[in-house]
Amino acid sequence: MLPKFHAAFGAAALLIIATFWAATVTMIVIGDKYLIVMAKTGIAWGLWALIPMLILTGLSGNRLGQNLRGPLIGAKQKRMKIIAFNGIIFLVPSALILLPLAMQGQGGLPYWGIQTVEPLAGAATITLLSFNMRDGLRLSRRRAGSA
pLDDT of residue 40: 94
pLDDT of residue 82: 95
pLDDT of residue 67: 84
CATH number of the structural domain spanning residue 124: 1.20.120
Q: State how many domains the chain has.
A: 1
pLDDT of residue 142: 72
How far apart, in Å, are the Cα atoms of 121 and each of 59, 93, 115, 138? 23, 12, 10, 26
Contact status, residue 64 vs residue 9, Cβ threshold 8 Å: no
Give pTM, 2 decimals.
0.89
pLDDT of residue 144: 66
pLDDT of residue 22: 97
Tell me the mean pLDDT per 10 residues along the chain, length 147: 93 96 93 91 96 94 87 92 94 95 86 93 96 91 67
